[in-house]
Structure 1
């Protein structure tokens, strides 16, 4: 049975207010009485009722974070940075995984709200007005990352559109004039929130359109390797494949090797995210790099500042850059 402050007060022959002052190191108590109360509390294994204290103080010192999954290395790395910063600031973190299921995401958010978390970091799958109204009416600080919402929720991520524009510019600078953009998540358009894939796609189209002699194709389907094979067979010029994530680029690299298609001698290949496993890949993959740890840390920092009613920026974009590897030829005379 849990020992209460009332029981300690009875055993020590003092009031509950005196016990409270001793346990919380407040003034207005005789030093000997404080020592006696602390000794009795320790001997009985007293632990404060955290939930009761939280209700009185108005804060639970807990945060929620909603991710798609932790199979994606970016998400697991981001969570570790988020949790570390939250812990440093005195918060415990609840992690829930939506698996891109809109109903499950809604259920988890309601569960977090029921547990009175002080704030939520959200990678949203939902994107309708009803969903955003629920978040607003909760009166709980919410910071989004990755996918955006249209409501007044602070946002932390990178500039995806500009990152892909920079990728196209880099490939163009290496002499490529035919690009194949591979982004299977685009097939979920209209079914869920795909703000990140859409921004990367828009960046690709805009960048290609600005280069007069640049030809391009877009692959946006689950069975992307079959379509990729057809496109490669039809092209007579040397091409580069730009993937919306390193995961797809690694699958493509494996497939190209199985077809005896040499990278970069016969075709260039570029990814996005610079996941840790790339250090084991040959040839080394050209990709877009950004500081995932900084995103996680900023996410926790901004959310906690918002909880404390501090002014926070509506948008925080982390720097990115093209990381040159061996999968793109450096020969400009293609």
Structure 2
């Protein structure tokens, strides 16, 4: 049974107000009385009632973060940076995983609201006005990352569209005149929020249109290796495969090696994200690099600033750059 401040007051022969002043290190109490109260509290194993204190103070010093999963190394790395910054600032973090399920996402967000979290960092699977109204009605500070909402929610990520444009320009500079863009997440269009994959796709289409004589194909489904095999048999110009994430690029590299197709001698290969696992890959993968730790740290900072009613930017974009590896042949 939890020990209460009332019990401590009775044992010490003082009022509950005196006990509260001692336990919260407030003035107006004799040092000897404070020492006696603190000694009794320690002997009894007293712990303050956190929820009751939170209701009085108006905040719980807790944050929520909603991710799709932590199988993706980008998400797990981002969470660690977010949690470290939150902890440094005195907050405890609730992590929930939506698995891209829109109904489950709503359920988890409601659970976070019920726990009176001070704010939520959200990678949204939902993307409609009803969902945004639901978030706004809670009056809970929310900062989004990755996928975007178009209500008044601050956003942090990278410029995905520009990153793919830079990737296409880089490949063109290396002499590639036929690109295969591989992005299976595009198949989820209309089913969930795919802002990031859509931005990367738009960047690819626009960048290719700006380059004379550039030919391209887009693969946007689960059976991408089957279609890739058919395409590679028909392409006679210098070709590179540009993947919307390193995970797909690694699958493609494994598939190419199994078929004795040499990278980059016969086909170039490029990924996106620069996940840590790439340091074990041969040939080294050309990819898009950005500072995931910086995103996680700034995400926590933006959310805490919002909680404190400070002005924060509507959009915060982290720098990116093309990281050249051995999987692309220079001209």
The TM-score, its normalising length taken from structure 2, stands at: 1.00
Structure 2 counterpart of 1:206: 206
1:263 deviation in Å? 0.1
**Alignment of 1:142 onto 2:137:** no
Structure 1 segment 22-41 matched on structure 2, within 5 A? 22-41=22-41
Say how many residue pairs are matched. 331
Contact 2:145 2:157 in 1 (8 A): yes
1:238 deviation in Å? 1.8
1:97 deviation in Å? 0.2
Structure 2 counterpart of 1:244: 244
Structure 1 segment 157-196 matched on structure 2, within 5 A? 157-196=157-196
Structure 2 counterpart of 1:283: 283
SS in 1 for 2:168: helix
1: CA distance between counterparts of 2:319 and 2:46?
48
Structure 2 counterpart of 1:308: 308
SS in 1 for 2:317: strand
Structure 1 counterpart of 2:259: 259
Structure 2 counterpart of 1:98: 98
Contact 2:175 2:238 in 1 (8 A): no
2: CA distance between counterparts of 1:236 and 1:78?
41
Q: Deviations over 1:173-228 (max 9, x none)?
A: 10101000000000000110000000000000000000011111100011000001
1:118 deviation in Å? 0.3
**Alignment of 1:233 onto 2:226:** no
The TM-score, its normalising length taken from structure 1, stands at: 0.99
1:116 deviation in Å? 0.5
SS in 1 for 2:149: coil
Structure 2 counterpart of 1:216: 216
1:88 deviation in Å? 0.3
Q: Pairwise CA RMSD of aligned residues?
A: 0.4
Structure 2 counterpart of 1:3: 3
1: CA distance between counterparts of 2:195 and 2:55?
37
1: CA distance between counterparts of 2:326 and 2:117?
46
Provide runs of 4+ in structure 1 moved above 2 Å: none
2: CA distance between counterparts of 1:204 and 1:28?
68
SS in 1 for 2:48: coil
Structure 1: runs of 5+ lacking an equivalent: none
SS in 1 for 2:278: helix
Structure 2 counterpart of 1:112: 112
2: CA distance between counterparts of 1:150 and 1:238?
40
1:237 deviation in Å? 1.1
Q: Deviations over 1:151-172 (max 9, x none)?
A: 0000010000000000001001
Structure 2 counterpart of 1:126: 126
Q: Deviations over 1:48-88 (max 9, x none)?
A: 00000000000010000000000000000000000000000
SS in 2 for 1:148: coil
**Alignment of 1:56 onto 2:56:** yes
